Amino acid sequence: MKKTISIVLLALLAAVSLFAAPAAETPAKTTATAEAFPTKELTFLCGYGAGGSSDVMVRLMQPYAEKYFGKTMVIENMGGAGGSTALTSFRTRTADGYTMSSFNTTPLLKNVMGQTDYDYFKELEFIGCVVTIPIVIVVRPDSQFKTIDDLLAAAKAKTEDLIIANAGANSITDLAARLWMKKAGIKLTSMPFNGGADALTALLNSTADLEVASLSEVLTKHLDGSVRILASCTNTAILDPSTGKDLGIPVLEGCDVKVIQGVAVHKATDEAIKQILEKGLMGICTDPGYVADMKKAGYDIDYMNRVDFTNYLTSSAADFSELLKSL
């Protein structure tokens, strides 16, 4: 009897093993290794809407992606909270190198102010900086303010409530405007938007009287007469990209602030993959075609590798912390 029972139990166990789910199999890896990277297209998560400087930078990069990264690249725009909305989403993406994210001055500033849901320095790897861009004050071509002195005089006289548009609350353009107003002893009404493109639209449709903007978003419009640049918040000469001639834009005293545009991946990404992406980004940023495309759009490449960019961001974070204490 015991022998019969044993045989029946063994038969039942064998039957169960035939139909059981393969739970004991080795789970698939959630992160990629560099052996065959990349094997599929890449995604670039841009934290701003179409038309802004971050978007323009990566869209001009897109045709060079396959040559230098090894695969084509799609762009996913996710504007909001000065770039932080996209970085919150980026945190949930797999750390396999297939998704990169834009990273610029505004998220850096928000990180300094403790307005992010995680510490970017702890969880992101900054693989390179592409450009640094001056910040400027612009008005419509029909504006009553012909010079920055005209604007300052009206603001100090308080004859009207002037509205100044920017790319987002506590963005780098907002910070530049607040710093300028403090130095100049004036007060304007701030109107934040989800990116520079929306802020520019507000200026052009007369919702705002002036805008503090990234130079790359307004230089071509200044040259064609669509807007007028009154002054720069950055102590750098502004040149005509076609002639190299200094446009003679005055610099606001005591207000040296600029935009940085770079690329980040997850810190947990395989180190060899980080190196592949860093090398690819460097290749794009030194490609004569991309350099020319960017220059035509009003950008001058200011490439920094991973080490230099990380050091620059660390130093800038310390500077912003001191600056915010003074405001």
Contacts of residue 118, defined as CB under 8 A and 6 or more positions apart, other chains included, come to 91
99-135 per-position pLDDT tens digit: 999 999 889 999 999 999 999 999 999 999 999 889 9
Cβ neighbour number for residue 224 with a 10 Å cutoff: 9
Hey, which residues does 231 pair with through a beta bridge?
A: 137
pLDDT surpasses 70 at 79 = yes
Extents of the domains making up the chain: 42-131+260-326, 134-232
Any idea what DSSP says for residue 123? H
Helix (H, G, I), strand (E, B) or coil at 101: strand
Residues 6+ apart with CB under 8 A from 269: 31, 95, 96, 97, 125
How confident is the model at residue 254, as a pLDDT?
A: 76
* Record: fold of 134-232: D-Maltodextrin-Binding Protein; domain 2 (3.40.190)
Comparison of pLDDT for 142 and 28, the residue scoring more: 142
Residue 34: is its pLDDT beyond 60? yes
Query: Averaged over 305-324, what is the pLDDT?
Result: 91
Q: What is the pLDDT of residue 50?
A: 87
Distance, CA of 184 to CA of 187 (rounded, Å)? 9
In this predicted model, which residue has the larger pLDDT, 24 or 42?
42
pLDDT, average across residues 33-48: 92
What is residue 14's predicted lDDT score, i.e. its pLDDT? Answer: 39
Region 156-174: mean pLDDT is 89
* % of the chain surpassing 70 pLDDT: 90
pLDDT digit string, tens, across residues 5-20: 343 333 433 333 433 3
DSSP per residue, 22-82 = -TTSPPPPSS--TTS--SS-EEEEESS-TTSHHHHHHHHHGGGHHHHHSS-EEEEE---GG
Residue 327 in this model has a pLDDT that exceeds 80? no
- At CB < 8 A and 24+ separation, what contacts does 310-316 make? 310/126, 312/129, 312/260, 313/108, 313/121, 313/126, 313/260, 313/262, 314/121, 316/105, 316/108, 316/260
Residue 138 confidence (pLDDT): 98
Please give the pLDDT value at position 32: 66
170 has a pLDDT exceeding 90: no
Q: Is the pLDDT of residue 1 over 50?
A: no
Mean pLDDT of the chain: 88
* CA nearest to 129, candidates 250, 305, 292: 305
Give the per-residue pLDDT at 201: 96
Among the residue ranges 70-79, 141-150, 182-191, 247-256, the one predicted with the least confidence is 247-256
Average the pLDDT over 163-171 and give the result.
Answer: 90
Same fold, 42-131+260-326 and 134-232: yes
The predicted structure's pLDDT at residue 9: 32
Amino acid code (one letter) for 106: T
In the predicted model, what is the mean pLDDT of residues 133-156? 96
Mean pLDDT for 201-209 is: 97
Could you tell me which of 310, 305, 281 has the C-alpha nearest to residue 108?
A: 310
Q: Which CATH number does the domain 42-131+260-326 belong to among 3.90.25.10, 3.40.50.970, 3.40.190.150, 3.40.50.620?
A: 3.40.190.150
